[in-house]
Amino acid sequence: MHDGSSFFWTPTNYLDNPNILNPVATPPRTTTYVLSSFDTKGCPKPGRDTIVVRVNPKVIAYAGKDTVVVVGQPLQLQASGGSSYVWSPTTGLNNPNISNPVGTYTNNMDSIQYKVVVADDIGCADSAFVKVVVYKVLPTVFVPTAFTPNNDGLNDVVAPIMVGIQKLNYFSIYNRWGELVFTTTQNKKGWDGTIGGRLQNTGVFVWMVSAEDYSGQKIFLKGTVTLIR
């Protein structure tokens, strides 16, 4: 087809010049182009050839949301957007070449920002960042001192807030007679102030928590919470 004196590409979409042999194509999606070539000898039938321009999806890297962690608490990062991943710096990471490395942080760190470079199978890449703030506090469990189960979307349940805790053995609540009214082993699950579907009257209840931190150290705490109607 190089003997032709004139050329025409179809479709003409996304070509800088459809009337030359080697136009630049910038289609947004995979497109098949047909080249017709006309010779100088008046041949009534043009020569034709076909080429497929394959367009891979754009790589969009995502490194996750900025987060906080307690010293000694493992934190699993999670990137997405491609097939290969490279994190930097490698500080605290168990493997900087996977999408979901685990980071562990020491007392000499206040915060760290990671960059992850995400690439697809043909080498197209993008990058993203995530910041980790490191809290230097001892592992503990916080429980609010009061809650108002009135279905207004604010403080309707009382639940443990775990900091640097790996496992919740139990969170239990008792009434003033020592009767168990609620218990759970699930993090972030709380009591809505009801027993058997009936909302309890205003009063003070005793809570107890048993948990373990990431070093296996057991923690036991107890206190009171006031139900306010």
Q: Where are the domains positioned within the chain?
A: 6-53, 67-135, 140-227
- Please determine whether the domains at 67-135 and 140-227 fall in the same fold group of CATH: yes
The alpha carbon of residue 180 and the mean position of all alpha carbons in its chain are separated, in whole angstroms, by 38
Domain at 67-135, CATH from 3.30.470.20, 3.40.50.300, 2.60.40.10, 2.40.50.100: 2.60.40.10
Query: For residue 3, what pLDDT is reported?
Result: 54
- What is the bridge-based pairing of β-strands 125-135 and 67-70? parallel
Distance between CA atoms of 169 and 184, rounded to whole angstroms?
8
Fold for 140-227, please state it. Answer: Immunoglobulin-like (2.60.40)
Residue 7 neighbours by CB under 8 Å, 6+ apart: 19, 20, 21, 35, 36, 37, 38
Q: Which of 149, 145, 144, 146 minimizes the C-alpha distance to 197?
A: 149
pTM to 2 decimals? 0.59
Q: How far is CA 112 from CA 98, 99, 106, 150, in A?
A: 18, 18, 11, 41
Distances in Å between the Cα of 195 and the Cα atoms of 153, 154, 157 are 20, 20, 13
Render 142-202 in DSSP notation, one character per residue.
E--SEE--SSSSSS-SB--EEESEEEEEEEEEE-TTS-EEEEE-STT--B-SEETTEEPPS
Number of helices followed by number of strands (H, E) in the chain: 0, 18
Q: What is the per-residue pLDDT for 46?
A: 74
Residue 89 tokens read as 């710096």
Distances, alpha carbon 50 to alpha carbons 3, 20, 57, 150, 224, in Å: 17, 15, 23, 70, 78
Q: Which amino acid is at 43?
A: C
Reading the chain (229 residues) residue by residue, the pLDDT tens digits are: 455 578 899 999 999 999 999 999 999 999 999 998 887 665 656 788 999 999 988 999 999 999 988 888 899 999 999 999 999 999 999 999 999 999 999 888 899 999 999 999 999 999 999 999 998 888 889 999 999 999 898 999 999 998 888 899 999 999 999 999 999 999 889 999 999 889 999 999 999 999 998 878 899 999 999 999 8
Closest of 168, 165, 141 to residue 225, by C-alpha? 141
